[in-house]
Amino acid sequence: MLPAIGRPWGVTASLRTTLAAIDLPDMTDATHLHQPWPEGLVRHYVAAGYWRGETFGELLHERAETCGGRIAVVGGATRWSYAELDRRASDIAAGLLARGLRRGDRVIVHLPNIPAFVSVVFGLFRAGLIPVYALPAHRIAEIGHFAVTGHARAYVCAGQYGGFDYGGLATTLQARCPWLEHVVVAQGDPGQHTALTEIERAGAGIDLPWSAAAAQDTAFLQASGGTTGLPKLIPRTHDDYIYTLRESARICGLTADSVFLCALPMAHNFPMSSPGFLGTLYAGGRVVLSPSPSPDVCFQLIAQERATFSSLVPPALLLWLEAARHGGHDLSSLRVIQVGGAKLIPEVARRVGPVLRVTLQQVFGMAEGLVNYTRLDDDEDTIIHTQGRPISPDDDILIVDEHDHPVAPGQPGHLLTRGPYTLRGYYNDPAANARAFTRDGHYRTGDIVRQTAEGYLVVEGRAGDHINRAGEKISAEEIEDHLLAHPRVFDAAVVSVPDAYLGERSCAFVIASDSEHPPRAVELKRWMRERGLAAFKVPDQIIFTPSFAATAALKTNRRALRAQLRAQLLQDGQTPSPGASP
Ligand code: AMP
Ligand code: DBH
């Protein structure tokens, strides 16, 4: 955590202080960054055939042996066969090891939807290096946090992309995190950093085992959407993640003929593994990368590549439905559209089949583990009104009240879960772990759900203070911390507000230090962007208020304060009060 981040250029000192303060992991066992499952359960998961001792490095090689000539990845003008992807992954693995990286080292992967994402992560898996996945929208605030908390030794990015200079971010990052020795630029001008092609050349022809990692090693660290503070790091093992790929591919009916249009940012857990691009490669199918979920781009790719399925968040689905009504695109290859990340309302769900001529599949999942799917042959009512049922018979689902007592069947409550692919602890974050897990190892998802008699889950909302903005999760606390760091802000509370397009948007209530001369909303927004915060986290709306009712008492209970402010906002019909910014 970076409690007081300070000014953009003051971050160096605070990162260093934080580094000194955090409990750096023991590097002698850097291949096990996860909290292990109890031994009895490990035996059970192996005996039940969930964990089969497979690793990503071996998996890709095995596919290259059996279907090497088939196309694995398409992106822009690039088309790689399984054999070519396998060769590139080996070269990258050997090239990175030759540079001095060692098994267990963390490498931040900050790449958009380009083929190099796939070759780089398989290269890392093969070398036993541990990717830390960052979203393209992340900026120095988040990447700095990953570099500190994950103690990353390398950063892989795409030079200039989408109008942002990731190479420049890398330079800043290295100045602040001296332990981050290596920067690799996968696409475009590498500037002062190392080009990926150079790493590939250095590794070409060097023989390595297909996997330096073991199946029960930590394979990667995924970023949580987060309910409190900055994103937490989610360790996943080869065994547990490959189990979800195998089962997801089966549940979603994938075969070697499946063509996945990857439209969401591929670092997200949903398009990565539910079944996503990794599940598609597991099945020997083809992954087509789209630079954006926009229908303009996606519809053309679907027609060109004969895509059979894709995964979307609800706002992107709305755009697809609208665009499809105008016709003129050949979407006849599409069989399934999956929707997840945020609640899909039944009125929209109902339109998917008739408009896109596909089967809708609802997916309710989390990077922490548990994933639920409606099944392709479920009746229409189930597909429209539920968010699916778990992947595994051993996904333990508990729905409880405020005191952790089970609610009556069918009643809403807090969803707790544990199972063969749900984490047992975040990496290097004892405070979060104390909050997020029960003594019995159940993960507190923060979701309010109810379960139907058939075992399907219906998401009713969130217990925690977070904003689910078009599937991007924003922690109210993280944004408040940034606002509170502004010299002219006395106090701040961030709440979610329903939004017809985004599902939810964020609204910050701010008490200015000098109520006569509050800062302007645009000024605060610009200031937050300059602090290097991902743009989706900058509040959509800022409302200045002279006080929070009963602040003194409520200061210790920000959750109650947020609830009160949110209620007030909704009651006022969401009309911005004086001083509000749109
Ligand atoms: P993350 O922490 O970014 O992995 O986000 C996981 C969270 O996204 C879940 O705990 C839910 O709050 C939300 N979520 C994911 N899928 C759905 C869905 N189909 N319906 C409602 N909420 C969802
Ligand atoms: O929102 C998510 O994180 C999510 C949604 C659907 C997810 O992680 C998943 C499926 O695997």
Q: How many domains is the chain partitioned into structurally?
A: 2
Mean pLDDT, the chain, integer: 90
State in Å: Cα 274 to ligand 1 middle: 13
What range does the domain containing 519 cover? 470-571
pLDDT at residue 1 greater than cutoff 50: no
Residues 427 and 536 grouped into a single domain: no
506 plus 387 within the same structural domain: no
- Assign 27 a pLDDT band (cuts: 50, 70, 90): very low
Q: Is the domain of 347 the same as that of 290?
A: yes
Q: What is the mean pLDDT of residues 120-140?
A: 96
Assign 413 to helix, strand or coil: strand
What pLDDT band is residue 550 in, cutting at 50, 70 and 90? Answer: low
Residue 376 lies in a domain: yes
Is residue 104 pLDDT above 80, yes or no? Answer: yes
| 417 and 508 part of one domain | no
Q: What is the pLDDT of residue 29?
A: 57
Which of 421, 451, 481 is at the close of a domain?
A: 451
Residue pLDDT, tens place only, 485-500: 899 998 888 988 888 8
Enter the tokens of residue 532.
């290097």
The string of pLDDT tens digits covering residues 135-193 is 999 999 999 999 999 999 999 999 999 999 999 999 999 999 999 999 999 999 999 99
pLDDT confidence of residue 228: 60
Higher pLDDT, 170 or 581: 170
Q: Give the residue, 436 or 562, on which the prediction is more confident.
A: 436
Q: Which amino acid is at 257?
A: D
The finding on whether 426 has its CB within 6 A of some atom of ligand 1 is no
What is the mean predicted confidence (pLDDT) over 387-409? Answer: 97
DSSP reduced 3-state for 359? strand
Residue 514 lies in a domain: yes
Nearest listed ligand to the Cα of residue 135:
1
Within-domain flag for 463: no
What are the residues facing 437 on neighbouring strands? Answer: 443
Tell me the two tokens of residue 167: 């190479």
- Atom 2 of ligand 1, nearest CA residue: 225
Q: Report the distance separating Cα 121 and Cα 184, nearest Å.
A: 13
Is 415 in the same domain as 490?
Answer: no
Nearest-atom number in ligand 1 for the CA of 445 is 10
At which of 451, 482, 508 does a domain end?
451
With a CB cutoff of 8 Å and minimum separation 6, the contacts of 55 are: 125, 210, 211, 213, 214, 215, 217, 219, 238, 242
Regarding pTM above 0.85, the answer is: yes
Rounded Cα gap, residues 135 and 94, in angstroms: 26
Q: Are residues 404 and 493 in the same domain?
A: no
Amino acid at 562: R
Domain C-terminal end among 416, 451, 486: 451
Domain-located, residue 168: yes
Is residue 408 domain-shared with residue 555, that is, in the same domain?
no
Q: What is the CATH number of the domain that holds 485?
A: 3.30.300.30
Q: Whose CA is nearest to atom 20 of ligand 1?
A: 343
Residue 207 in this model has a pLDDT that exceeds 60:
yes
pLDDT tens-digit map of 33-86: 999 999 999 999 999 999 999 999 999 999 999 999 999 999 999 999 999 999
Q: Is residue 465 part of a domain?
A: no
- The answer as to whether 578 is a domain residue is no
Based on the fold, state whether residues 477 and 385 are members of the same structural domain: no
CA of residue 188 to ligand 2 center, whole Å? 31
What pLDDT was estimated at residue 26? Answer: 42
Residue 456 counted as domain residue: no
Model confidence at 552: pLDDT above 90:
no
Q: Is the CB of 269 under 6 A from ligand 1?
A: yes
> Ligand 2 within 6 A of 367 CB?
yes
Pair 36, 143 in one domain: yes
CATH value at residue 187: 3.40.50.12780
Q: Report if residue 561 sits inside a domain.
A: yes
Q: Reduce the DSSP state of residue 529 to 3 states and report it.
A: helix
The answer, yes or no, to whether any atom of ligand 1 lies below 6 A from the CB of 458, is no
Buried b (16+ CB within 10 A) or exposed e, 141-168: bbbbbbbbbbbbbbbbbbbbbeebebbe
- Could you give the percent of the chain with pLDDT greater than 90? 77
Per-residue model confidence (pLDDT) at position 433: 95
Q: In terms of domains, do 422 and 548 share one?
A: no
pLDDT, one tens digit per residue, over 208-261 is 989 889 999 999 999 997 656 678 999 999 999 999 999 999 999 999 999 999
Ligand 2 atom with least separation from CA of 367: 8
* DSSP string of 11-56, one letter each residue: HHHHHHHHHHHS----GGGTT--SPPPPHHHHHHHHHTTS-----H
Note the pLDDT tens digit of each residue in 510-535: 999 898 889 999 999 999 999 999 99
**Same domain as 474, residue 340:** no
Do 186 and 325 fall into the same domain?
yes
CA distances from 72 to 209, 223, 581 (A): 22, 26, 47
Residue 287, beta-bridge partner list: 73, 260
